[in-house]
Amino acid sequence: MLRGMTFAPQTQIRPGTHLPFTVENAADMGISRHELRTGPYRRVMRGVYIHERIPDALPVRARAALLAAPPGGILSHGTAASLWNARVRRSAEIHIAYRGTGQPTRRSEIKVHRFTYPLERKARHGLPVTSPGMTFMQMAVCWDLVELTTFGDLLVKKGVITVGELRSYAQAWQFHGAEAGRRAAALVRDRAESVPESHLRLLLVLAGLPEPEVNYSIRNAVGDEVYRLDLAYPEIRVAVEYDGRWHHTDEQRAKDGRRRDVLRARGWTIFVVTAEGLYEEPEPTLDEIEEALKDRGLLLPERSFEYLRYFGSVLPLEENPYWSVAT
């Protein structure tokens, strides 16, 4: 301890208050309404509290919503998607699904969904959620093709479902979102490692380019992986890599440069794409990659402009020079 300084002992968390609890639960634990207002507790949502030292994380809000909502529901849609993989877009509302009819909850923090078909219940972080396959197909009516496919990549990377299982699930789905879900499931791939890498692959595919291999391994004579390329056309030795923020340090730049120099010396053409080249100005990126593929002997179809729905300029249509070609 520093001389001359004293520290107050850290208050212990009262048993049961490390999880969300209702006002009725508080009374059972001997916590008065006055203590709820003045003690070491915070309100998660109306009528539901937790100890103030517990962070305001999604599982906390989801557990609180299940206490506040009608019984029998399971977490679904965007909430389930975020619980299966935290890197997807989050919803401000907690989504809860029920089978059958019933009265909707009158809470702005909770979005209730009711279905006639059975709901597949799984556990995630100790909470009841829709299964990965069902979550994917339910999000097919909420997310676009790129976001849904990327979510599928993340589910597969997480190991909670395989590509084959996801495609089979989509093929068997007979409810809303079936067509969109099947198309996205057909684009989901093994070995995808990040959201931008998935987006870059989809930019190329939606522009009509041949689909590259994902995280292609270059191995030495004894079979050990020595290099890995984000996206590659190994037959013609063309690679496309995404450099995010963490590539911008001097140390990482030097490491990337040495690696790419070796690959170029072995006959590889390496294209490095940044966030700007992917999301804001994809046309020059596509132009360069198309030219390289043609130089290596590939015959390419005319460019598809479906990618413009998801990537590129936000200019008005009449100011986008590529739109007039597309239409």
> Which CATH number covers residue 322?
3.40.960.10
Tell me whether residue 269 is in a domain.
Answer: yes
Same domain, 113 and 204: no
pLDDT digits (tens, 9 = 90+) for 243-267: 876 556 667 778 878 889 999 999 9
Tell me whether residue 151 is in a domain.
Answer: no
Last residue of a domain, one of 65, 84, 117: 117
The confidence band for 327, taking pLDDT boundaries of 50, 70 and 90, is very low
Tell me whether residue 159 is in a domain.
Answer: no
Tell me whether residue 10 is in a domain.
Answer: no
Q: Compute, in degrees rounded to 10, the torsion defined by CA atoms 311, 317, 319, 324.
A: 90
What gap in Å lies between CA 94 and CA 100, rounded to an integer?
19
User: What is the model's pTM?
Assistant: 0.88
Last residue of a domain, one of 82, 117, 152: 117
Same domain, 215 and 104: no
Mean pLDDT of 178-199: 97
Residue indicated by tokens 């990537």: 311
Q: What percent of the chain has pLDDT over 70?
A: 89
Tell me whether residue 25 is in a domain.
Answer: yes
| Cα angle, residue 250 at apex, residues 244 and 255 outer, rounded to 5° | 75
Last residue of a domain, one of 117, 143, 166: 117
Q: What is the number of structural domains in the chain?
A: 2
Tell me whether residue 309 is in a domain.
Answer: yes
Same domain, 196 and 279: yes
State the burial class of residue 265 (Cβ atoms within 10 Å of its Cβ: 0-12, 13-18, 19+). exposed
Of 187, 183, 176, 170, nearest to 131 by C-alpha is 170
Would you state the pLDDT for residue 312?
86
Tell me whether residue 319 is in a domain.
Answer: yes
> What is the domain extent for residue 285?
192-326
Tell me whether residue 207 is in a domain.
Answer: yes
What gap in Å lies between CA 241 and CA 272, rounded to an integer?
5
Strand intervals (E) in the chain: 21-22, 41-45, 48-51, 74-75, 94-99, 110-115, 121-124, 127-130, 213-219, 225-233, 238-242, 269-273
